[in-house]
Amino acid sequence: MSACLRFTRRVWKSFIDNKGHDAQCFPNLMITRAIPGLVETKLNIEQYNLNRVGTVHGGLIMSLTDTLGSLAVASKGHYMTGVSTDVSTSFVRPAGRVGDVLSATATVTALGKSLAYTRVDFTTANGELVAYGTHTKYVGRSSSDPNNVKFSEDGEKVIEGIDVE
């Protein structure tokens, strides 16, 4: 497993261990791939993810835009992923029903000293776009966290900081 994937999963575990919003809304989120600046996930849709008409609730996708934007920032080596300044989500078509798998790709589109910009695309199992979102984060203070790391370009190794197995 690459250092970037291992690190991003460790950050995700810290979200879940907090027993907050993420643990309540999508505890079964799986990070399937992480390279610096890009995270891919899958979510098995459960009954509690639905709206009253039986499809994925828009609020779930909005929350995932926030969380996955944060994990994209984590994939750049940030253990603390900052605070949200703006989140936006657009819905293209229904995102699925119980038993379906919702896939998402979160990308860091820009990362500066103070702000990080991310985009998250949500797709069905057959690759149809169902929603997309953007997420802006203030990362000014989090960029100096002692748990941060720097990855090799391909994300295979930690070249600065501590690689926790």
Residue-wise pLDDT for 80-115, tens only, equals 999 999 999 999 999 999 999 999 999 999 999 999
Residue 42 contacts by C-beta under 8 Å, 6 or more apart in sequence?
A: 29, 30, 32, 101, 102, 103, 104
In the prediction, which pLDDT does 157 show?
A: 95
Contacts of 99 (CB under 8 A, 6+ apart): 44, 45
The reported pLDDT for the residue numbered 155 is 96
**Residue 14 carries which DSSP code?**
H
Helices (H), the chain: 3-17, 21-25, 58-74
Would you call 105 helix, strand, or coil by DSSP? strand
- 42 pLDDT higher than 80: yes
For residues 11 and 47, what is the distance between their CA atoms, to the nearest angstrom?
26
Which pLDDT value is given to residue 61? Answer: 98
The identity of residue 54, as a single letter, is: G
Checking if the pLDDT of 165 tops 80, the result is no
pLDDT tens figures, 2-41:
999 999 999 999 999 998 999 999 999 999 999 999 999 9
Measured CA to CA, the distance from residue 15 to residue 5 in angstroms comes to 15
| 164 has a pLDDT exceeding 90 | no
pLDDT band at 143 (very low <50, low <70, confident <90, very high): confident
